[in-house]
Amino acid sequence: MKVDLKNAVVVITGASSGIGEATALAFARQGSRLVIAARDLDALNAVAEDCQRMGGEAIAVETDVTDADAVKRLAERAMTFGRIDIWVSNVGVGAVGRFQETPIEAHEQVIRANLIGHMNDAHAVLPIFLQQGYGIFVNMISLGGFAAAPFATAYSASKFGLRGFSEALRAELADQRNIHICDIYPAFVDTPGISHGANYVGRKMSAPPPLVDPRDVANAIVGVTQAPRATTTVGSVTNAARLAHLLAPNLSTRILGRFMASYFKRADRVAQSSGNAFAPPSEPGGIDGGMRSPNRLTSHPIMFAMLAIAAMAGGAAAAEAFRRRHR
């Protein structure tokens, strides 16, 4: 089935900034009825007003997705429209630092938000989808679901876990033709989330180009609701890293780890902070992170390194297969 986005009821968690805000506006342009959620009610109200100006109807609901009861209340609030057509599970936080130098409480909070929070979302809405006989659950994962991120170990654990959760859930729902679990894997995205994250290295955070525009991710989310599929990647780096990790996981992760360690040695010093791990940022930041610039390169050695690893690993595998066939 194809969901008619005009008047469709769409729930979006993590909607106060970044990809979530861009996604809310993208659905609002389609005339959808939105129930947007995050911890910062003031920021949500501002996004809701923008959605209404775009032609959508929007309700802001203060919600911490790590609280299962709060997420169930969010679903109940959305059901005042009579149904839920689409649920975008978008919350994501990070904590950057060497594993042993990052407080265990920060690691735990990343897992709670990025993994348990998404499970809470699904647990609240799936009974509704099953009763309706249809629904689309969009799971925001990231490049980190395919390739580990050194210096962000809990983030890696949460994203690998989230991918496994989605795959298992799809298998359980295989006989439900009109219920879809759709995963989105963007590359590095230019959102405020990078600067808002917990920082335990004391160095300024950034991300390597090419950076993805959050609006491109939002458009991918809207697109997948019209043609549901299990996996959608956004950005060339995701596909390069996915292939490199498939063919040479240890080598690709070591290269990324060395790059990160080198970057932290050169980056400007900043104060360590728990960022938005335990509370909303003091300023929501809007959609863009401000890291894209015409003066920055449009490609980066990381992507070329990943492609080179994939090519070498693929060539080695092909050579080994040829040798075995002809020995």
Three-class SS state of 87? strand
What are the angstrom distances between the C-alpha of 121 and each of 37, 69, 115, 128? 11, 10, 10, 12
| 175 φ/ψ angles, rounded to the nearest 5 degrees | -90, 0
32 is written with which tokens? 């959808």
The DSSP line for 219-281 is HHHHHHHHS--SEEEESHHHHHHHHHHHH-HHHHHHHHHHHHHHHHHHSPB---B-TTSSS--
Is residue 134 part of the annotated active site? The answer reads: no
Q: Is the peptide bond before 210 cis (omega within 30 degrees of 0)?
A: yes
Q: How far is CA 264 from the centre of its chain?
A: 24
The CA distance from 159 to 138, in Å, is 14
Q: Which amino acid does the sequence have at 189?
A: V
Tokens for 273?
A: 């902070």
Do 65 and 88 touch, CB atoms closer than 8 A?
no
In this structure, what token pair is assigned to residue 61? 């609901």
User: From residue 42, how far is each of 30, 37, 75 by CA, in Å?
Assistant: 24, 11, 20
Question: Could you give the C-alpha distances from 154 to 54, 166, 169, in angstroms and in order?
Answer: 37, 18, 22
Which among 155, 185, 200, 263 is annotated as catalytic?
A: 155
Torsion of CA 231, 198, 66, 23, to 10 degrees: -40
User: What is the enclosing helix (H) or strand (E) of 137?
Assistant: strand 135-140
Q: Which of the residues are catalytic?
A: 155
